[in-house]
Amino acid sequence: MNQRSDTTVRPVAEIRDLRVEVGGRAIVDGVSLRVLPGRVTALVGASGSGKTTTGLALLGEYPCDARVSGDVRLATDDAVGYIPQHPAAVLNPARRVSALLTDIARSQVRHLPRRQRRAAARERVLRALAEAQLPEGEALLRRHPHQLSGGQQQRVVLAQAMLLGSRVVVADEPTTGQDALTKSGIVDRLAAVAARGIAVVLLSHDLDVVRALADEVVVMRAGKVVESGPARRVWPAPRHPWTRELLSAEREFPEPDGRAGAGRTVLRIRGLTARHRTGARSTTVVLRAPELDLRSGESLALVGRSGSGKTTLARCLAGLHREHDGEILLDGVPLPGSLRDRSRAQLAAVQYVFQDAAAAFDEHRPVVHQVARTAIRLRGIDAKAAEQEALTTLNRLGLPEDQSRRRPGRLSGGELQRAALARALLAHPRVLVCDEITSGLDTITRRGILDTLTALVREREELSLVLITHDLDVAARARRIAVLEAGELVEQGPAQLILRAPSHPFTVSLMRTAARPAAGTGL
């Protein structure tokens, strides 16, 4: 970039001493921020630190019933572009992709004679799509949002901002829950936006992406800015202890659980082929796993991009995916393909923890009762003993009794995920399947949950873990790693070996893309 010092460039947006109060509690308190053209300004912090509220203030949007003081100034009248965490949410499910784009373009061609307007608007839309790296715009405009991939949806939302001529684009957690390859695509896209002279405000707790992109870093905690400055200064020498903690949480590359010589084989998969129904009679094979073993006391990470068949494999284990051939043996006994045909002991033996903990709880009953229910249903113990055990387990996982007695709505995402773990543990499972259970959480919460898991496997000798993840940092905690690509099991082996010396080309590329954003630190 050609800017020598920040003072010579006029900011395109500026926030001065912003304070947003909801119900008497300040969620953003005295935040000041300068957004420069062509630069990426990253707001970093754990969930609840006020990043999103600050970002939305640039769009002139505040939570309802908020009391706002301070200044938000924009250099131009152009609307600020917004790329939300889930781009699908801002695309109208009942309309074709072209609907909003055409409406935006139409307002820009009012000066033309009526007859030329339609063609001019269309041309603008196509140009904006091309700028957002969607060259095949014509065909794409006729589709509905659900017919696009996640990446295409994000690019369409980006094209809306391009079409609008926004000088500032706010991107809210654009990489959360994405795999390494998709992430690097998003990084490229945002870098290209900044290269056009547009100011990008990145709200993220994903430090890899922040490191790869950010020119300016603003670290937030509990609604306040604790540290801010150019990225090249903040990363190597963080001044505030909170920044240091945030960075160390990220950098730590833990040793996998080192217990030597795991026990005998608990789960044996032989010749597994899983299918999805695609029509009335046709099916497609979505997963082939000829051979995979899980030993007692071992943790196995299933790694791969989204859509590679990780979750399907786990669902076969749990009896949630019936359309499969081959054998899944638990202690040498074949498990029935469907949940319904499994005995209580078999049900208890394989437990599943889902990604979205909030959706996995009934919102109307206290958490502890829902956790205890597993023990009552699957182990047949009485309600009182079950509740006692639930409270003990929840407490062990870091949820004190008063929190356990609350309803799910009053717990945070991380706390709910701990409760979901406790609920699965109350079945006394042999195999615990964790399906992306940390991917929606911020760095510090994620580390807490992963530490808990590591401790669990160490403590309970009979427990084996299947970790489904696209995050290699998470996979690094497992003893063994199995890599899936397009439904094929391409590589498996000890974690150290796979991470240090991957042999399959896909695994190599996965490692490389994961390493790349971090390598951008030197900028």
Partner 1 sequence: MARVSGLRSFVARRLLLGALQIVAVVLLVFALTEALPGDAAVALAGDQPDPARIEAIRAAMELDRPAWERLADWVAGLLLHGDFGTSLTSGRPVGEYITDGFGPTLLLATLTVALLVPAGFGLGVLAARHEGRIVDRVISSVTLAVYAVPEFALGVLLVTVFALQLGWLPPTAVGYGTDLLGHPSALVLPVLVLLSRPVCSLVRLVRAGMIDALASPYVAQARRYGVAGVRVRYAHALPNALAPAAQQLARTIDWLLCGVIVVETLYVIPGLGTVLLGAVAERDVPVVQGLAVVFGALTVALNLGADVVAHRLAPRAGVAA
Q: Contact positions toward partner 1, by CB under 8 A? A: 59, 61, 79, 82, 84, 89-95, 99-100, 103-104, 107, 144, 146-147, 157, 160, 164
Q: Which is nearer to partner 1, 148 or 357 (CB)?
A: 148
Q: Give least dist CB 90 to partner 1, A.
A: 4
Give the Cα separation of 42 and 35 in Å (integer).
Answer: 10
Q: Residue 200, Cβ neighbours under 10 Å: how many? A: 25
Give the Cα separation of 146 and 94 in Å (integer).
Answer: 10
CA neighbor of 443 nearest in space, from 466, 414, 472: 414
Q: Which is nearer to partner 1, 109 or 272 (CB)?
A: 109
The contacts of residue 257 (CB under 8 Å, 6+ apart) are: 299, 454, 457, 458, 477, 479
Q: Give least dist CB 341 to partner 1, A.
A: 26
Structure tokens that stand for 197 in this block: 């002279």
Q: Which is nearer to partner 1, 91 or 262 (CB)?
A: 91
Q: Give least dist CB 197 to partner 1, A.
A: 20
Q: Give least dist CB 61 to partner 1, A.
A: 8
H/E/C letters for each residue in 219-244?
Answer: EEECCEEEEEEEHHHHCCCCCCHHHH
Q: Give least dist CB 91 to partner 1, A.
A: 6
Q: Which long-range contacts (CB under 8 A, 24 or more apart) does 326-329 make?
A: 326/269, 326/270, 326/271, 326/272, 326/273, 326/289, 327/268, 327/269, 327/270, 327/271, 327/272, 328/267, 328/268, 328/269, 328/270, 328/272, 329/267, 329/268, 329/269, 329/270
Q: Which is nearer to partner 1, 100 or 329 (CB)?
A: 100
Q: Give least dist CB 164 to partner 1, A.
A: 6
Q: Which is nearer to partner 1, 94 or 333 (CB)?
A: 94
Q: What residue ranges in 232-298 does DSSP mark as E strands?
A: 265-277, 283-295
Q: Which is nearer to partner 1, 93 or 522 (CB)?
A: 93
User: What is the residue type of 176?
Assistant: T
Q: Which is nearer to partner 1, 100 or 320 (CB)?
A: 100
Q: Which is nearer to partner 1, 83 or 432 (CB)?
A: 83
| Residue 142 burial (10 A CB sphere; 0-12, 13-18, 19+) | exposed
Q: Give least dist CB 94 to partner 1, A.
A: 4
Residue in the block written with tokens 């307002």: 107
Q: Is the dihedral of CA 457, 460, 466, 467 positive or negative?
A: negative
Q: Which is nearer to partner 1, 77 or 363 (CB)?
A: 77
Structure tokens that stand for 171 in this block: 């991107």
Q: Give least dist CB 278 to partner 1, A.
A: 10
User: What is the residue type of 462?
Assistant: E
Q: Give least dist CB 512 to partner 1, A.
A: 35
